[in-house]
Structures are given as structure tokens and as C-alpha cells.
Structure 1
């Protein structure tokens, strides 16, 4: 082995030291370069009902502001005004995220279909204090329906469809990540290109099937205080749309948009005993 080879190996080993990891700000910058274009929902009103009795009314005031009303989610009586961003991941399916400005450290992500009337909700919340061995950003999920639409198709819910799958995700010219979906509860990732190159981990994840080829994928990291919500289109488009909620280097809650292209590498199938 040459001296240059020994140095390169040493660099790669050092890069895996979690005390030297980049911050949330570092890796999230520019991760929305290949995101699908935003959608303007001005003038639209959507009413949704979710499991557990949660009701949510969204009235889109303009291209960036929504008045949302939900007693269960503790809005003001006449609704709370917050920013939103929306993406049409398919002609009839909308991905909407509310990076709350009205309260600190929370985001509400909603997906619905105008065709099937199905909906789902992901609520991401930063815990006030870090607990050892527990991701600081937690998430809850609920399936639901759009009021006024005849509901068809399967109800969104947890799935094992992605277990064993291995994909590469290109978010920008300088963001390339690999995911391996290990089980219904965890996934492995590594950065192939970008600020986190050489870093990787196994983190908690949630997988739901929303519709044929459309999957909700969410992760909650142990090392960096960040969680994410993605909608993977594994049909013909092979695109993903997502958001991050985390704590930046200054210690403040930070919302980021993300998105990109999916490149499937393959999948494994277990012959008998299955992962959890």
C-alpha cells in the first residue's frame, strides 16, 4: 500500500467519527435543487377527516399562506395562519407542508388524492430536550379522507413493500444518497456525494402505502436532530418530494424543502424468516 493510499483510508475512517459530522445546515443546503415545481393553491379549500377524530380545514389564502382550522391540532378558534408549500406529485395527488410559524418546532404534512378521496397526515415535533438513544424529532401519522369526495381504493397505512429495497436518491448536482430499507422500522443510509460523504447510519423509519406506486417514507435520526417526510413515486416518474424539520447550528428549529430523482438498484427477498 502506498503512502497516498494509507492517507486516503485514514481520511475515510476519520469521516465516520460522529463527533466530526456536519450539521443539519450543512447537508440540507441546496437539497431541493431537483424538487418538483411548487403548486399554487390560492382560493382552494380542503376539508379532511383523519383517524382518531382529527378534523382539518385548509383554506389557501394565496400562493404561500394558508388558514388552517383544527380543534384537535389546537388551532385558533377562527383558524391559524401559517406558511405552506405544495407540490402536485401526480395530477390528482397533492403534497402540502405547513412549516409552522405560529408555533416553534412543528411541521404538519398532508397528502391527499382528488381521485380516491384518500388522505394522510404526518405531524413532526421537536422535543424540548434531547433524550439519549431517542431521536429528538418525533412523528405521528394518521390516515384520512377528503370531505365531499366518494372514497375509493385502499386506505393508506403501514406497508412492507419497500423492505429489502435499495435505491439511490439524487437531490442536486452535489447531493447523492443511498438508502437500504432494512425492516418496517429502520433503514440504512450513506452519503455518496456531498457534505456528508463518508457518513452513514441506521435510523428509525416509517413506511406507508398511499396508492399504487406512491409511498410515504419518514425517518428520524439519532445523531443529528432531524426528521423528514417524503412521498416516493416509484411508478413511472421515479421522483420524490419531501421536507426536513431539524435543529440548526444556532439551536433553532429549521424547516427545509427537498426532492429529487430515484434510481432503484435492486431488492432482496428473504427466503423464510422476515425482518420485523
Structure 2
């Protein structure tokens, strides 16, 4: 290995993923629909899907009541009635929202990712250790909700351990492929088999939720280049949909929030004996 960095900025990663990618096509199935989302924190947020790719969200109950914003969104459908909806919050700094909505069960998960400031990113890792903080400066919040009826305990999506022990290869395009090893409830290891990050590998913080049978929400937060991934993994269909977000370059002024999708291949599964 040469004595220089091999880590790739998110903008360069997006450019590498783009040609001939295996993303799902965007859908307009939700156009004309209004979904009242009763959040587990007591908020009620109305999402109105307007023509084109416009989404209007309005806080009907909770902090900021009366706030109403129009955003530009994308949506994919991983299974019938199950959608991945994503947008950049136009009035908040470096913040994105991903909505995982299951219209078959009328529940969902909101994933709010906030990219760190330059100062937060430049903080030494050892200082984070001394202060008892996470090594990643990327902030992710998860809020469960129900659609159309008041939220009650347990009606959202649940944290799962069903991916733990699995080793899966993901082909994002003819020239981009990765391997994931899901180690435990908090960490997974990735390596790039082919593509702009070929040869790179790391172990990062992650989160798992079960959406349906053999269908999962997987979120990771990287600690070197500020990056978050929000992915739905369908191990029946062997397909994924989702996004990766980070800064477009090194000036911390512009986000690159790009879609990803892959074909999945389960390589093996480890069951530890303890």
C-alpha cells in the first residue's frame, strides 16, 4: 500500500456508482395521496404527494405545529405496497429524510440523517474516545409511525437480529460490487470488491429493522468520510433499494444524496456457538 490516502469522497463515489446502475426505477404511485403519519413522539405530520416529484409535509401536532414545506422527493417500490421515499430537507442544514412506508400494514419508519459540520468532522478520533462519544460524527435518528390512526406501542417496525451472521455480496452495477458481513447488533464490515473503492474495507456502526418477512431496513454511519447509507434489503427478491448521502466534496457546502440499488447474493451464514 502506498503511503497516501485511498479514501473516496462521496461525490466521487456517486459518480462511480452512476453508470449502468442497478437502481429501481422511480415510481409515482403515491401521486395525489395524502398520508397522515402519527409519530411515536406524539407528532402528527401530514405528507401530501403532489404532481411530479413534489411532496408537501405539514406538522399538524407537535413541536413546530403549522410548519409547512414543499420538498422534492424520490420514491421506489421494493415490494407491492412498500415504498422507500427520500428527500433533502431544504430548510435544514445537511439533513435528509428517508421514509420507509408499508401501506399493507399502515406503518413506517422515518430515518433522519444529519451530516456533521467541518469542525465535527475534523475532531480527532481519540478525543471522541476520551469524551465517550461515537467515532462517527454522522447523526441518525429513527422515528416509528403509523398511518391514518394514532400510534400505539409496538405498531412500528422492530429492531431485528435476522441479518446478523450473514455474508452478502451486492452488485450495484457491472463495475461496482461490495461484500457485507453483518457482525452484531451494532457493527458490520464492508469491503469493495470492484469499483472506485476497490481494496478498501472498514467496520462501521449500523442499525437493522425488520419491515416484512425477509425484508429489512439497514442503515450505516461511516467514521472516516462523513457518509450515511439507508438501504432496504429484500432477501426474497435478492434486491435492494435506497440511498447514500454525504458531502459532494471537501468544502462541506453541498450534499450529494444519490440513489443506490443492487442485486444481492447470500454467500454464507455464520452461527456462533457461545
Is TM-score (shorter-chain normalized) higher than 0.5?
A: yes
Q: Distance in 1 between matches of 2:201 and 2:188?
A: 11
> Cα deviations across residues 218-258 of structure 1 (Å, max 9, x unaligned)?
000011111111111111x1111111221121422221111
Q: Is the 1:158–1:209 Cα contact (8 Å) retained in structure 2?
A: yes
Q: Deviations over 1:32-89 (max 9, x none)?
A: 5111111113211111112121322111112211111136786682510111000111
Which residue number in structure 1 is paired with residue 213 of structure 2?
Answer: 212
The partner residue of 2:24 within 10, 14, 36 is 36
Q: Equivalent residue of 1:29, what SS?
A: helix
1:23 aligns with 2:9: yes
2:110 paired residue number: 121
- SS of the residue corresponding to residue 41 of structure 2 reads helix
Go from structure 1 to structure 2 and tell me whether the alpha carbon gap of 1:261 and 1:18 turns closer, same or farther (over 3 Å shift).
farther
Taking the aligned partners of 2:248 and 2:229, their CA distance within structure 1 comes to 14
Distance in 1 of aligned mates of 2:198 and 2:62 = 38
Decide which moves more: 77-86 or 199-208.
Answer: 77-86
The 3 A distance-change label for structure 1 pair 194 and 56 is same
Distance between the aligned counterparts of 2:66 and 2:150, measured in 1?
A: 26
Give unmatched runs, 5+ long, in structure 2.
Answer: 126-134
Asked if the contact 1:188–1:202 (Cα under 8 Å) also holds between the matched residues in 2, the reply is yes
- RMSD (Å) for aligned C-alpha atoms: 2.3
Quote the Cα distance in structure 2 between the aligned partners of 1:65 and 1:85. 9
Aligned length: 256
Distance 1:267 1:164 in 2: 5
8 A contact 1:226–1:244 mirrored in 2: yes
Range 17-26 or range 62-71, more displaced: 17-26
Distance 1:132 1:165 in 2: 32
Q: Is the 8 A contact 1:137 1:246 kept in 2?
A: no
Residue 112 of structure 1 pairs with residue 101 of structure 2: yes
Q: 1:69 to 1:187 in 2, by over 3 A?
A: same
The Cα shift of 1:161 comes to 0.7
TM-score, normalised to structure 2, is: 0.86
Q: Residue 4 of structure 1 corresponds to which residue in structure 2?
A: none
Q: Assess, with a 3 A threshold, how the Cα gap between structure 1 residues 18 and 247 changes in structure 2: closer, same or farther.
A: farther
Per-residue CA deviation, residues 155-201 of structure 1 (Å, 9 max, x unaligned), is: 41111111111000111111100000011100000000001001010
Distance 1:18 1:145, change over 3 A: farther
State TM-score, norm by structure 1: 0.86
